Amino acid sequence: MYGPMLPSTSMRDIECNLESVQEQIVAAARRAGREPDEITLLAVSKRIDISRIEAALALGAHALGESRVQEANDKIPEVTGDAEWHFIGPLQSNKAMLAARLFDAIHSVRKASSVSRLSASATAADRSVRVYVQIDQSTKSLIETQVAEVTAICRQVHEANGLKLQGLMTMAPYAPNPEASRPYFANLRRLRNEIMASNTEFGSIGLSMGMSGDFEVAIEEGATIVRVGTAIFGKRSP
């Protein structure tokens, strides 16, 4: 499921990678006139072996991201370091109960039906799960109908038992040039700002956006949490 440590990614490699990513976060925040501590680094540990995960935790990583519920269920009990676990993959309805027990935050809630299932699961597990509402963008332009639709889902999360509205999440289409991601990140920021302006009861709404190839651009556009895997852990096992 998640193979042996790759020889090319030693603890020293991970240390250097983490330092580099953290330096890039600081630099991007300063370019945007922001404080670096406004941004959380989510180390994406999907398909990463326990040795490399524990090395990252020992070196200061804290938030970890997984994309498969069953893999996380097998992996989390084996990890001895203190970690906060985030789910970043598609959430299947039959995995909602287990996800609510395993994860502190879920970044992939897209539909009202998912909110209902997750709320029931979190309540049954006596947990409070932080939720990011996933926004799918097919164009670089903010679709006006998204505002009402996303606001409705945010309100459902805000009012649901066992859930806490934490923010919005998006992924830009892959492109070799990180600047190609900027319009998508700017869209999410504008959408967030419009929702917050009209729904002050929601409080602060974060932005989960940016991955290894474009997280600096995401920070410049307002990301509060960036999802970085390869830039920290190196290549994943097949």
Residue 67: inside a domain, yes or no?
yes
Residue 120: inside a domain, yes or no?
yes
The CATH number linked to 124 is: 3.20.20.10
| Residue 233 pLDDT | 93
Residue 238: inside a domain, yes or no?
no
51's CB contacts (< 8 A; 6+ apart) are 5
Closest CA to 147 of 191, 200, 185: 191
Residue 6: inside a domain, yes or no?
no
**In this structure, are residues 234 and 3 in contact, taking their beta carbons and an 8 Å threshold?**
no
Residue 106: inside a domain, yes or no?
yes
| Residue 7 pLDDT | 43
Cα torsion through 105, 92, 65, 155, rounded to 10: -30
Residue 87: inside a domain, yes or no?
yes
| Residue 238 pLDDT | 58
Residue 108 has φ and ψ, to the nearest 5°, of -130, 35
| Residue 6 pLDDT | 42
In terms of residue numbers, what domain contains 69?
Answer: 11-233
Residue 2: inside a domain, yes or no?
no
Question: 0.85 exceeded by the pTM?
Answer: yes
| Residue 8 pLDDT | 47
Residue 83: inside a domain, yes or no?
yes
| Residue 146 pLDDT | 82
Which token pair is 146? 């998204």
Domain count, the chain: 1
**Residues 128, 122: Cα–Cα separation, whole Å:** 6
Q: What is the pLDDT of residues 153-162, one digit of tens each?
A: 999 999 999 9
| pLDDT string in tens for the chain (238-residue length) | 444 444 446 888 999 999 999 999 999 999 999 999 999 999 999 999 999 999 999 999 999 999 999 999 999 999 998 899 999 999 988 899 999 999 999 999 998 888 999 999 999 999 999 999 999 886 555 556 688 889 999 999 999 999 999 999 999 999 999 999 999 999 999 999 999 999 999 999 999 999 999 999 999 999 999 999 999 998 776 5
| Residue 144 pLDDT | 62
